Chain A
Amino acid sequence: MNKILGSITLFYHKLGSYPWFYSISSKLLPISTFLAFMIFLLGIVWGIFYSPSDVTQGEIYRIIYMHVPAASVAQSIYFSLAIAGFVYLVWKMKMAGLFIKAMAPIGASFTILALVSGAIWGQPTWGTWWVWDARLTSTLVLLLFYLAIIGLYSSFDNKKTADQAVSILAMVGAVNLPIIKKSVDWWNTLHQPSSIRIFEESTISSEMLYPLLICILSFYLMVFVFGLMAMRTEIAKREMTKDWFKKMVKKND
């Protein structure tokens, strides 16, 4: 038991070190990129060519294979930011601050992807690009939170202060986000006449479900890859003048 705990602690301390992360990520990056790409290809090809078309929506429903993974990833990234913010504020792990800086633009991009793909999906099925529906509205608010984090970060010159500020904001935002979601849900039931039913029976046939799950998995892998790349870039930016970085660059030349 102590051994396991010890190795976890060791891993945690290693995770906080820039050189260790930089070298381990350079090994992880090719494998995970390959995996992400292959699984994405599998899911998309299965979803687009080999899954049956929907009874009511026809072929257009296939945008689900982009839309649902993007929306799911967008929310998960926000909560990972909040966890990183907690880790940063409590244990002062500098890698957590860097994580927020690196992941926030990625999360914002996936949120935009979810919104845009949803609009493209909505046009033929509901006849409109945008509905003030609960899910759409809370995704829009999620985007605002991402933008606030990015904006706040960029307004500081000192990286350490910036990390701390965005950690606080990410945590407060994560606490508030469920409340916002709940209140928007509830606002929606008051205002929206139920003329548009967005989700019909939520039973999805397994032939559609499996490629969807594969797509979701591949999106998470993609986020992992993008996150590694963004964090490596950020480490390079912050540690450019440090000895270990110069040595490593020299060695690779």
Chain B
Amino acid sequence: MIFLKSFFSREVLIYSKKSSNVISPVIFFLICIAFFPLAISNDPKELSRLAPGLIWICILLAGMLSIQTIFKEDYDDGSLDLFYVRRFSMLQVVLIKIFVNWIFTALPLILLSCSMVFLLYFPLEKLLNLIGSLFIGTLIISFFGALAGALSLGRNSILASAIMLPLSLPVLILGSSASTYSSENITFFILLLLALLFFSVPIISIACIGAIRLHYE
């Protein structure tokens, strides 16, 4: 328990000291969103039709940025070695790291998506659908991102994205459908997303541990 608590506060401390990891996805997300109307059209009708898809694509792409922050810095400065050698429970390490990473990189984006009601004329009555699906969807994406990051530790980041993005395809489909279609179907999408979450958490965290281990053999 003590380990859990101190490890959690360590992670939080790292993210709050190194704010670039938190800010860069936000900047990226805003730039992406801002450039879409410039590239497509400024017609409110068309934009509000495209908005759910655009938001989800941008969230996914912003998720690529945080792949590198989950394990890479600890791997580079050797603290991941220590966690591994000291036989801390790697499952706890992995889960806490993913969760804290989600809090600091995905939550700001979810909050920011509320502003899309103004920027992309996202229909207000579907905002709850969007936020709900984003909450679950980004958590799943964080897990896939962690796996991609762990597999490609010390390699180039394009490779990590090439691993993460195809895996996240169901999340993209379910999430953007949840925020596109009318609110009576919302429970259906949310349940499917939750099912995907509960399905991928154990599998991906075990795979993550395996992926970290292979760098130390």
Contact = CB atoms under 8 A, between A and B. Distances in A.
Task: Decide if the interface of chain A is mainly helix, strand, loop or mixed.
Answer: helix
A187 to B, nearest CB: 5
Contact of B211 (A144, A165, A182): A165
A152 B166 contact: no
Given A151-B159, A164-B214, A183-B174, A171 B207 contact: yes
A183 B207 CA distance: 23
A155 B155 contact: yes
Interface in B191-217: 196, 199, 203-204, 207, 210-211, 214-215, 217
Contact of B210 (A151, A168, A173): A168
B63 to A, nearest CB: 16
Nearest to B167: A176
Contact of A180 (B159, B169, B199, B215): B169
Nearest to B166: A144
B173 interface: yes
A164 B215 CA distance: 10
A89 B159 contact: no
A176 B177 CA distance: 19
A175 B203 contact: yes
Interface centre among A147, A156, A173 (most CB of B within 10 A): A156
Interface in A153-182: 155-156, 160-161, 164-165, 168-169, 171-173, 175-176, 179-180, 182
A4 interface: no
A148 interface: yes
B214 A161 contact: yes
Contacts, number: 69
Contacts of B169: 141, 180, 183-184
Contacts of A110: none
Contacts of A171: 207
B207 A165 contact: no
B173 A187 contact: yes
B174 A148 contact: no
Contacts of A165: 151, 211, 214
Contacts of B151: 152, 165, 168-169
Contacts of A190: 177, 181
A89 B211 CA distance: 11
A51 B203 CA distance: 48
A141 B172 CA distance: 13
Interface string A102-141: 0000000000000000000000000000000000000001
Nearest to B180: A190
Given A161-B217, A171-B207, A190-B177, A152 B170 contact: no
B215 A161 contact: yes
B139 interface: no
Contacts of B156: 155
15 contacts: A145-B166, A148-B166, A151-B162, A155-B152, A156-B155, A160-B217, A164-B214, A164-B217, A168-B211, A168-B214, A172-B203, A172-B204, A179-B199, A180-B166, A183-B169
Pairs of residues from A and B, 6 with the lowest C-beta to C-beta distance, nearest first:
A183-B170, A164-B214, A144-B166, A155-B155, A187-B173, A183-B173
Interface of A: 89, 141, 144-145, 147-148, 151-152, 155-156, 160-161, 164-165, 168-169, 171-173, 175-176, 179-180, 182-184, 186-187, 190
